[in-house]
Structure 1
Amino acid sequence: MILHSASTIDHYTASGFWGSKTLLDLLAQHVADVPQRPCVVDTPDRAELIGTPATAVTWQQFGAAVDAIATGLLRRGLQKDEVVVAQLPNVWELMALYFAVARAGGILSPIAMQWRDSELRNVAEASQARRYIGVKDFKGFDHIAMAQHVGYETLALEEITAMAAQAPDPALLARVKLDANDIFSLCWSSGTESHSKGCPMSHNNWFSQMRLIPEVVGIQEGDRVLAPAPMVNMTGAVAWMSWLAGRGTLLLHHPINVELLIRQMLTENVQFTILVPAILNMILKLPNVDSLDLSSIRSIATGSAPPSRWSMEEFKRRWNIEICNLWGQTEGTGLIAGPLDVPDFAQRSDHFPWWGKPGVEWPSKVQGIQIKLLDDADVECTQPGQVGELVYRGPNVFAGYYRRPDLAQNSFTADGFFRTGDYFIVRDERHVGFFDRKKDIIIRGGFNISAAEVENLVLTHPGVQEAAAVAVPDEIMGEKTCIYVVPKDKAHPPTLEDIVAHLKQIGVAVYKLPERIEYIDAIPRNPVGKILKAQLRQRITKA
């Protein structure tokens, strides 16, 4: 399935950013070059999470498993360009499925373990996917039964593991023809829409992203990469792209178990990982921090909130670790403030390189990416202190939301820049900085939560007349969700516990559940009916 326009393909091909190689070709090269190098290592607590033993596979074993799983999927009738939904924790089979589904001509669509009936129905409707791969028991919840209830044809993880052990059929696989501009994956992004939107990324999109992130954060041949973020969006992709670029070893972890995570950092000879700022601060404040030896780690990427200058300086002083500040989206956009382009710790937490600005060169030699800041009248911001929406163009950016042509006009500018929905500020003639979110989202522990979706769900409670959802700061999660509620019966308003129980009953992801409630007589709105979220956020800070 090719979604990029012919003109876009011609432009990036002619400029040398896109080629004819697929990610499957890259995998085959790694298998040939480093067959016995450890490839993927399961999270040590896999047995506790899903009841099957942790496994480690070499690149040769991984490549054979990819071909075997692809053969099994083809024999089960997988069609070219068919979307396959996978709801799995970070296990080695999930990484194999990315490549195996593509090897069979399909498109993998990974989703978060926390998603429930409501989200699965949206994915099925938006992607037309009918196949689902999941687990029967994850922390006491049966994902397979849920998917069957929604209407998917299901495959349990154990069946995928069994497929991986079978012999592949080279003749069957040879019939599948892939193009570098075919879609490789379909991940999901939350924003101002009340439902997640599909973000299709081609092989060439991923190759462009792979050149960007590993080069800027300093990935080297054979690096061991610790992956604590779920492999379902761009946060997790930072880890697997670095692993694939360095043909190293991917050390899996997730869901977060802080004690285990630190043990892996201490004992697994890790060179690179990605951690949210709260975890960075927590490590530095451990009572035994002076006895920790993290010196094998060369760099750590962080995002979802700005890292503190103090944490960056402490990691450098204690263990010579560089902290790289990342901003990015599942749509393929990304900016990185790392030691090459932003060496000054005083700037790195809130200054991003103004990539693509005419006349400005960068030590990272990033090419092909252009960014601009546009004010509300689409006039470009150029002077320090000016604030505008970041718009972004590059070979790493998706073609548009999957099966949503209605969003195309508002998603891109007339000259082809993607509208990120985030406000940035001009810092100086070389740097921009994140300022605020234009999109009405709440970012809790790295997960984007649509405020509109939460509001629509809360309104299904019979005791709620009106509702508005906003973010409240949280030291651990970054942000949590607060709901303002206008109760139908002011004498007997629904409690937070009542609303949470109701949402659990209808099947809502745990991380989307509100964690604070405020009662209000009326939701403040502007003349056209838009909720005045700034007023609601201000009320919280004064509370």
Structure 2
Amino acid sequence: MILHSRQWIDHYVGEGRWGQRTLLDQFEHNRDANPDREAVVDPPDRPDLVGTPARSLSYREFGQAVDATAAELIRRGLAKDDIVVAQLPNIWELAMLYLAVARAGGVLTALPLQWRATDVGYVAELTGARLYIAADHAKGFDYIAMGRTLGFEQCLSLAELTAIAEGPVGPLPPVTVDANDIFTLCWTSGTESRPKGCPMSHNSWFSHIGPLMRTSGLREGDRQLCVAPLVNMTALGVNYVSWLVSAGTLVLHHPLTMPVLLEQLSEQDIHFTILVPAVLNMIAKLPDVDRIDLSSVRAITTGSAPPSLWTLEEFKRRWGIEIINIWGQNEGTCLIAGPADVPELERRVDHLPFWGKPGCRWPSGVDGVSVKLLDDEDREVTEPGGIGELCYRAPSLFAGYFKRPDLTEKAFTADGYFRTGDLFVIRDDAHVGFHDRKKDMVIRGGFNISSAEVENAVQAHPAVLDAAVIPQPDEVMGERVCVCVVAREPASPPTLDDITGFLRESGMSLYKLPEALRIVDAIPRNPVGKILKRRLRDEVG
């Protein structure tokens, strides 16, 4: 499935930035060169997660599982460019499935475990996926039953998938996979009420991972701890693809559990990971922090919110660990403030490199990325202190939203820059910094939530006259969904449980459910009916 235009393929091939190598080729190289090296390590609490023992697989064993699964998928009718939907936690089978589906010629789209019938059904309809692979049960929810209800032709349980992967390798016919074929299909949200598919090719992934490897100092054979779910850019873009490129070991974690996290960081010889600022703060403030052994960790990336200077200083002072500040999106965008390009910790918290600016040379050696800021009239903002929407162009960029040409057309400038929807400020001649969100959304634990989607769903509740969603700051998740409601009967307003129960019954995904409720007399709007979110935030505090 090749989605980039011939124009862009020829452009980046001509520049030498895209080639013929695939991530499958990279994995085969790793398997041949290091067959006995640990490839993937299960989370130690896997038995509590899915009821089966945790495993560690070498590259030889992992490759065998990839081949066996690919052969069975082909036997079951998976054809070139078919899409497979999966809902699995961070376990070795999910890491394996990305490669196995690609080896069979298909594309894996892995969805968050919190997604329910509304979003999963939309993905199934848009992609035409016939095969659904999911955990048998997780936290009391029957995923396979949901898959059958949604009409997937085949629903494969985790138990069946594990048996296939651990079984013999059947006939494995050759399948041609091009470097411009799509390798992953992740999903994001913004102002749209429906998820938007972000397809990334092998070439796009190789281009994306180059800046991370340079700025983070990743080395061949590094052991990485993957804490974020293996479904979007946070885990795939920081851990999974860099694990493949560095021929390292992928140590999995799920869900976020501090005792398990600290045990893995201290005892699994971890060299690199990504943790949100709140978790970094929690570690640095633990009462027994002096007993924590992080001597193997060289670098930790962070994102979703600005890290605190104190945290950066504490990790550097206590353990010599560099905290690297990342801004990025599922569409293939990324700016990274690492120690080479932004050595001063006090600047690294809010200064990101102005990659691609003429005259700027970066010690990390990152090139091929170009960013610019545009105002509301699409005029370029160039002076320090100026604010505009960050627009991004690079060989890592996706081709456009999956089967949504209407959204794709609006998302790109005429000269091929992607409109990120984030407002940035020019800090100085060489740096930019995040200023505010142009899109109306809540970012909870790395997942984008459309405010409009939740607002529309809440307004359907019989006890609600009007509703608006605003982000509520949260130390752990970054933000949570706060819904402001005008009650139809002021004397008996709905409760938060009333609203969340109503949304659950409608099939809304769990992570989108409101976690705070404010009853208000009116939702402030402008003359054309647009909700004045800043004013609302000020009013409710």
TM-score (norm 2): 0.98
CA distance in 2, matches of 1:89, 1:452: 28
Match of 1:423 in 2: 423
- Are 2:108 and 1:72 aligned? no
CA distance in 1, matches of 2:494, 2:276: 34
User: SS at 2:90's partner residue?
Assistant: coil
Match of 1:14 in 2: 14
CA distance in 2, matches of 1:165, 1:50: 17
Match of 1:458 in 2: 458
Match of 1:134 in 2: 134
Q: What one-letter code is carried by the residue in structure 1 that aligns with 2:231?
A: V
1:163-208 deviation line (CA, Å, top 9, x unaligned): 11233345x431x111110111100011110111000000101111
CA distance in 2, matches of 1:214, 1:66: 25
User: SS at 1:21's partner residue?
Assistant: coil
CA distance in 2, matches of 1:463, 1:125: 32
Q: What one-letter code is carried by the residue in structure 2 that aligns with 1:457?
A: A
- Are 2:319 and 1:319 aligned? yes
User: SS at 2:213's partner residue?
Assistant: helix
Q: Conserved in 2, the CA contact under 8 Å of 1:356 and 1:371?
A: yes
1:58-115 deviation line (CA, Å, top 9, x unaligned): 1111112111100000000011111101100000110111011011111000110111
1:272-312 deviation line (CA, Å, top 9, x unaligned): 01100000000011010012111110000100100011100
User: SS at 2:7's partner residue?
Assistant: helix
Match of 2:161 in 1: 160
Q: Which runs of 5+ in 2 are unaligned?
A: none
Range with greater deviation from structure 2 (247-256 or 152-161): 152-161
CA distance in 2, matches of 1:210, 1:159: 33
Q: Which runs of 5+ in 1 are unaligned?
A: none
User: SS at 1:428's partner residue?
Assistant: coil
1:466-492 deviation line (CA, Å, top 9, x unaligned): 211010112222111111112222222
Match of 2:228 in 1: 229
Q: Conserved in 2, the CA contact under 8 Å of 1:131 and 1:154?
A: yes
Alignment of 1:133-532 (within 5 A): 133-152=133-152, 153-169=154-170, 172-174=172-174, 176-237=175-236, 238-532=238-532
Q: What one-letter code is carried by the residue in structure 2 that aligns with 1:120?
A: V
CA distance in 1, matches of 2:102, 2:241: 16
Alignment of 1:76-155 (within 5 A): 76-152=76-152, 153-155=154-156
Aligned sequence identity (%): 58
Q: Conserved in 2, the CA contact under 8 Å of 1:214 and 1:245?
A: no
1:383-418 deviation line (CA, Å, top 9, x unaligned): 111000000000101000000011122100000000
RMSD: 1.1
Q: What one-letter code is carried by the residue in structure 2 that aligns with 1:139?
A: K
CA distance in 1, matches of 2:307, 2:121: 36
Q: Conserved in 1, the CA contact under 8 Å of 2:276 and 2:302?
A: yes
- CA apart distance, 1:440: 0.9
Range with greater deviation from structure 2 (186-195 or 478-487): 478-487
Match of 1:30 in 2: 30
Match of 2:2 in 1: 2
Count of residue correspondences: 539
1:416-460 deviation line (CA, Å, top 9, x unaligned): 000000000000000000001111111112222111111122123
User: SS at 1:68's partner residue?
Assistant: helix
- CA apart distance, 1:135: 1.0
TM-score (norm 1): 0.98
Q: Conserved in 1, the CA contact under 8 Å of 2:381 and 2:388?
A: yes
CA distance in 2, matches of 1:59, 1:322: 29
1:480-513 deviation line (CA, Å, top 9, x unaligned): 1111112222222211111112122223222211
